[in-house]
Structure 1
Amino acid sequence: MGSRHISLKDLARELNISISTVSRALKDHPDISREMKEKVKKLAIERNYTPNPLAMGLLKQETRMIGIVVPDLVTHFYASIISGIESVAKENGYFAVIASSNENIIKEKESIENLLKARVEGLIVCMSRETNTTDHFEKLVSRDIPLVMFDRVCLGDKIPAVIADNADASQKIVEHFYAKGYRRIAYVSGPENLSISKERMKGYWAGIKACGITPDENLVENCDLTFESAKTAMNRLLQLPNPPDAVYGINDTVAFGLMKAIKEAGLKIPDDIGVVGFTDEFHSVVVTPALTSVTHPTFEMGQQIAQLFFKSLTPGFQAETLIVKTQLVERESSNKSQS
């Protein structure tokens, strides 16, 4: 029979008995004789039979699969969160099926539909940067499909979520720059439709106010979260009549783009311009100078996401948003010499 999966049907055919008899024999059903049980179990061992969990799950109308959709599978931020989700899923007898939207709304919708066709029992989603509508998520809610969102979220009154303390962390970045002697503090945000862009922008302005700095709209730029668009945004800031002496990127990829543009302009980090990122990717300690960044407890965040998912399966559950505390990790990129 080669290396293909041996089914109950194969065992039944070989023994010339019904599939239900094979199934009940393997489960030690009292209606099946001891002799038949031994015969079935012996053949199952010889043929390396193992139950097909998906097929069994479909019979019970459950597959014990959770679908996860993330913007990419390369970033350590998402990989670590997925590991945290999987650890809790495993404890609960579930496993994860993972898909990437590649930061594309069409791919996001396709991934969700494909996972539902694969009979996942619920979904965990972080929105793509292109996602500016919520109709596909509202449809899931109306169909009573368990759904938890994280990091980039929407419909907080209907969909449970786990997010970072974005506004608070953002304000702390501005205050950190100010304490280090920087005064023209710029911010390069992401697409305006994303929750993280809105929350971190709110924190940026709160930080500017808390430090007593005169607000300047010219010091705020948007990008599409890519390295190249971040470089372009930084170049616009550098061309201002009164350019910034510090800049904060909405995530580390953006911060790396900012650093590249600053270096290409012949300026020094951190003495000419300080730089801070967000998410604390592995590359933060590899770039020169090492990047000051906001770190998330990503594995623990993943565990909280999965715990919230299982909590959402209980009757009468009301959507809630859990906020995870972050930490600003100071490195050389924002630590200029002060005389």
Structure 2
Amino acid sequence: MSKRHISLKDLANELKVSISTVSRALKNHPDISPELTLKIQKLAADWNYTPNPLAMGLLRQQTKMIGVIVPDIVTHFYASIISGIEEVAKQHGYYIVIASSNESLQKEIESVENLLKSRVEGFIVCLSQETNKYDHFEKLNSNEIPLVFFDRICESLDVPSVVVDGVEATKKITRHFYENGCKRIAYISGPEHLNISKNRKVGYLEGLKECGLKFDPQFLVTCNLSTKDATRATRQLLTNKILPDAIFGLNDTIAFAAMKEIKNQGLKIPDDIALVGFTDEFHSTVVEPSLTSVTHPTFKMGQEAANLFFKCIRNGKGFSEKIELKADLIIRESTLK
């Protein structure tokens, strides 16, 4: 079948049964034989049928609800973005329904399905760290459901998005290290399929080149964004024959884990190793030493994502504006030698 929305009528016509029979079979109604139920459900799956929440007629009914999916709802980073989204949503008379993927692809898929059942009009999403398949979002897009990504985005889908200029921000970090006498600069990156990992790696490599420093592969390691794996990655850097004199992490969670491991190894920050994070979480100012970090304009990111959502509604199919925000490096004790 084509990518247009598949209806109950399409399934009924194909199998030469009534629409009510199809509807009941999809609900596992006991009046429908197991054989026919299986046949109908198989066709529905093969044809990518989705129930009423995806129907275009329903989407034209304004429910005034936006589904917002984030990797977690604990960190200040996402809380601030959600606040920005909510402010703009309220200005338009909309409410937001928040779901956390907990960095799980499966939970992200389930969140999409559950929010559709709640009859949200569309989605504003930051991908989980596991998300490297995008069928659930491609389905939304093909059915013309408003979809906006922020921070971690699906680059293969031509839909609106808001990101921070990770390349320039990471070049700022590298230059700051260099200007403070660091020449063995290490980077703890995240999953390689994430756009934020790729962009910050580009900035790291370009920053080294601009500073006249040679890239050493032993100073580039990856982790899965968990504290445990960030600790493992830091330990890997600290067991090299040549120690780095500077480390920066893809985000502050990684940097906090690195800080703890550096201290556990009996090394001093910043005297032995300077340290920088990314996202400027609240704890950056209260750890010892305070953490130099790149601050995101998080509230603005949320506002811009919501603005793009309402532009999607107004402009319809094909709208795909991309917004790139600038980030600042906030210098604190962890890099002041």
Structure 2 length normalisation: TM-score?
0.81
* Cα separation, 2, equivalents of 1:106 and 1:126: 14
Alpha-carbon distance between aligned partners in 1 of 2:308 and 2:59, rounded to the nearest angstrom: 27
CA contact (8 A) 1:152 1:196 kept: yes
User: Which letter maps to 2:322?
Assistant: T
Q: Contact (CA 8 Å) 1:277, 1:292: kept in 2 or not?
A: yes
Whole-angstrom CA distance in 2 between matches of 1:229 and 1:59: 42
How far, CA to CA, are the matches of 2:215 and 2:201 in structure 1? 13
CA distance in 1, matches of 2:203, 2:166: 7
Matches within 5 A, 1:185-224: 185-224=185-224
Mapped to 2, the partners of 1:144 and 1:137 lie a distance apart of 11
Instruction: Output aligned runs, 1:97-136, within 5 Å.
Output: 97-136=97-136
Q: Show CA shifts across 1:105-133 (max 9, x none).
A: 00000001100111000000000001011
1:157/1:319 contact within 8 Å kept:
no
| One-letter amino acid of the structure 1 residue matched with residue 297 of structure 2 | P
Q: CA RMSD in A?
A: 1.3
- Identity of aligned pairs, percent? 59
Counting matched residue pairs gives: 279
Q: Is the Cα–Cα contact under 8 Å of residues 156 and 320 in structure 1 kept in the other structure?
A: no
Residues 16-65 of structure 1: CA deviation (Å, up to 9, x unaligned):
xxxxxxxxxxxxxxxxxxxxxxxxxxxxxxxxxxxxxxxxxx79822000
8 Å CA contact retained: 1:156, 1:321:
no
* Runs of at least 5 residues in structure 1 that lack an aligned partner in the other structure: 1-57
Counterparts of 1:60 and 1:238 in 2: how far apart (Å)? 57
Q: What residue is the counterpart of 2:16 in the other structure? A: none
Cα pair 1:157 1:320 within 8 Å, conserved: no
Unaligned 5+ segments in structure 2 are 1-57
Q: Which residue of 1 aligns with 2:7?
A: none
Task: For residues 264-308 of structure 1, give each alpha carbon's deviation from its aligned partner in whole angstroms, at most 9, with x where no partner exists.
Answer: 000000000000000000000010000000001111111111001
Equivalence for 2:151 = 151
2:327 matched residue in structure 1:
326
| Contact 2:155/2:195 (<8 A) preserved | no
Matching residue's letter, 1:319: S
**Alignment correspondent of 2:92:** 92
* 8 Å Cα contact 2:138-2:157 kept in structure 1: no
Structure 2 counterpart of 1:178, which letter? Y
Partner Cα distance (1:156, 1:136) in 2: 13
SS where residue 247 of structure 1 aligns? strand
Q: Are 1:156 and 1:319, in contact at CA under 8 Å, matched by a contact in 2? A: no
**SS of the residue aligned with 1:313?**
helix
Q: What secondary structure is seen at the aligned counterpart in 2 of 1:183?
A: coil
**Aligned ranges for residues 266-277 of structure 1 at < 5 Å?**
266-277=266-277
The SS at the match of 1:233 is helix
Aligned to 2:178: 178
Deviation above 3 Å: which 4+ runs of structure 1? none
Distance 2:134 2:296 in 1: 26
